[in-house]
Chain A
Amino acid sequence: MATEMQIAANRANAKRSTGPKTAAGKQRSSGNAFRHGLSGPLPADALTTAAIEGIARAVVAGADFEPEEAMAFATSELELRRIREVRKDLLMDLAPRELRRLAALDRYERVALTKSRWARRSLAKPAHNQVQAT
């Protein structure tokens, strides 16, 4: 059983080590658990947004699809490509221990594939309706 003094010392020590204080330190430690970023959504940067819009625009221009469905389709396709790019980089310089990482990437890809399959199906639906209409 710790004495009162020990408990007080523990508390004082704990107060001294509660993580980074500066904004830069906080910023840095916020990325401690970051591995490849594949479990999150696509980054909302200008390049990604432009790529999504480019694909969606091409799809909508190619057939009379709903723009929202086309955006969902484009996003899911880009997510898939992002994972495959990471895998390709990994394969180019494969260390023996990285085989496990390769298997882990497959799990991310499976989730992205399911998403993509659903997006493809819902995008394909209006086209089928149109086939019926003609």
Chain B
Amino acid sequence: MSKSIARLSEFSSELEELLGETVLLKGEDEELYAELREALKAHLDPQDLFDELDVQDLANNIWEGRRFQKHATELINAERLNAIKKLAASRPGFLSDKMAKRIGVTGDSVPEDAIGQGVYLRELGVSRELVQAKALLLAADDYLILDKLVANRSARRKAAIKDYSNRRRQAAKDTRLAKAKRERAKLANDNRPTLVKTPDLSW
């Protein structure tokens, strides 16, 4: 490790205070975030400030990506009830009298406790996939935005990894070149013709 890099590493704790940031929102698991960051650190073995910033960016992007993915899933789950209601309303006779009587459906209103019951869906002839697809359609606008946010995080993650590996490759190349240069200089020094002292023949 070069001297400058070593000094930077010593300084990183102070810089971390200045540059460090957390993407955690209220109520999010701090321990899990710290675990993720530590795992990335252990895997990438940051050597300098830039590596540390990349680790931080990676941790933040992974965390945010997961958060938005969760939001997207919850968004679709929240629309399931509406999806079943719409499916029921759009098909006259969709609910048989027997079924309606059994689950207490009147008109197009479906009781919430009936949702999620496989029996109910099977008897209606509605597959879970159809409900999911309808829910996705109902939440499409927001889902697309969340999907874009997740994709952006993924792209940034890739960019940070690319930057990190480019820098590492460059540093390795620099070290290799410096070593070769030193060896060449040493070799040239060893092969340099030296002046042979003329023997003293005065005797």
Contact = CB atoms under 8 A, between A and B. Distances in A.
B116 to A, nearest CB: 24
Nearest to A91: B25
Interface residues of B, number: 37
B79 to A, nearest CB: 12
B145 to A, nearest CB: 5
A62 B7 contact: yes
Interface in A85-117: 88, 91-92, 96, 99-100, 102-103, 106, 110, 113, 117
A96 to B, nearest CB: 7
A74 to B, nearest CB: 9
Given A55-B18, A84-B23, A102-B149, A117 B4 contact: no
Contact of B171 (A58, A63, A110, A131): A131
A113 B156 CA distance: 9
B161 interface: no
A54 interface: yes
B15 A62 contact: yes
B133 interface: no
B148 interface: yes
Interface stretch (B34-42, B47-55, B106-114, B117-125): B47-55
A134 interface: yes
A92 B25 CA distance: 7
Contacts, number: 86
Interface string B1-17: 01111011011101100
B18 A130 contact: no
B178 interface: yes
Contacts of A102: 145, 149
Contacts of B2: 127, 130-131, 134
A63 B159 contact: no
Contacts of A58: 11, 14-15, 18
B19 interface: yes
A63 B5 contact: yes
A126 to B, nearest CB: 9
Given A130-B2, A132-B178, 13 more contacts: A51-B18, A58-B14, A58-B15, A77-B19, A88-B25, A99-B145, A100-B145, A106-B148, A120-B53, A127-B8, A128-B171, A131-B5, A131-B178
9 contacts: A58-B14, A59-B15, A62-B8, A63-B7, A81-B21, A91-B25, A92-B26, A96-B142, A102-B145
